[in-house]
Structure 1
Amino acid sequence: MDGAAPRFAADAMLARLARWLRVLGWDTTLDPELDDPELVFRANEQRRILLTRDRHLLRELKPHRSLEVRSDEPLEQLRDVVLSLQLEPPRELFTRCTVCNSPLPDPLSPAQREVLLPPDVRDLPGPARQCPGCGRIYWLGSHARRMRAALERTLPGWLAP
């Protein structure tokens, strides 16, 4: 890659991969309602790397930038994307909403944490953020530790400590 953060467009078959890419902070669009020509048009127009398992789409519609995803398993798919595109690890995980792809803003203030977080997680260390797009709230709980561990198993030594 050229040093700029990659931007992806994932086809409908790659929803779980799209979520993992978002965990890594990479702008990844996913709209299952788009037909193939519109998906390719938008990926080209927005200068995104189109990720697909659909060989017919690649052969017939010829997106400008694309990667054929071959594995069925989302973490294997992620490893293949990272290695094929020689992607650098992100400085921080969990900076983008895994549901709607919006960048997550600065962490919640202590007063916002008190109001927005469930009582049992208010005192957890680390930032908590609310998505400006869909309102979902993120914090570094056990799910974040499990996801980081899955990433470490998938890409050993790739993430910063």
Structure 2
Amino acid sequence: MADAMLGRLARWLRVLGFDTVYDEALDDPVLVRIADADGRVLLTRDRHLLRDLRPLRAHEVRQDDPMAQLVDLVHALQLAPPAGLFTRCLVCNTELPAPLPEEELPALLPFPRAQVPGPVRRCPTCGRLYWHGSHARRMRAALDRALPGWGTAG
């Protein structure tokens, strides 16, 4: 669970397939209650939250750069490389289902199917569409620079 200051880190964790709750509207006491009740590690940069609310499991994020935050977290929590990338919605954290059937794509895509490489997935919760375009290649490359070998998962 990531606090309001760690939205970009939460997205990177979701890219890696980690179930990451992030809602910038939640107050600190609510964050701690949810994290404790669900057995989650609360990720925060807020030392006061850690000192005053004392979550059961927490990690203080000290870096400013989201990729440096990710590397530190992977090492601190001894996270294993994922079996695959892009298995969760980056917006709402829902697990993405199997790719959509080809016959559904023309009505959903903003441009011709020929311009969309590979399979297309749709988040069942928020409806966002995902495919492996140039943005995914850039994200994989960034992961490989920060965590060698992780950008080639799945």
Q: Distance between the aligned counterparts of 1:142 and 1:34, measured in 2?
A: 33
Q: Which has the higher strand share?
A: 1
Q: Which runs of 5+ in 1 are unaligned?
A: 1-8
* TM-score under structure 2 length normalisation: 0.93
Q: Which has the higher helix share?
A: 2
Of 120, 123, 129, the match for 2:121: 129
| Aligned length in residues | 153
> Percent same amino acid at aligned positions?
62
Q: Which runs of 5+ in 2 are unaligned?
A: none
Q: Does the CA-based 8 Å contact 2:41-2:57 persist in structure 1?
A: yes
Of 11, 15, 22, the match for 2:7: 15
Deviation at 1:160, TM superposition (A): 4.4
Q: Residues 90-112 of structure 1, C-alpha deviation per residue, up to 9 Å, x if partnerless?
A: 11111101011111111111112
Cα separation, partners in 2 of 1:87 and 1:159, compared to 1, 3 Å? farther
Partner of 2:51, secondary structure, is helix
Of 144, 148, 153, the match for 2:145: 153
The correspondence of residues 5-154 of structure 1 with structure 2, limited to 5 A, is 9-122=1-114, 124-154=116-146
Deviation at 1:35, TM superposition (A): 1.2
Q: Distance between the aligned counterparts of 2:135 and 2:112, measured in 1?
A: 14
* TM-score under structure 1 length normalisation: 0.89
**Structure 1 outlier segments of 4+, above 3 Å:** 120-125, 158-161
Q: CA RMSD in A?
A: 1.4
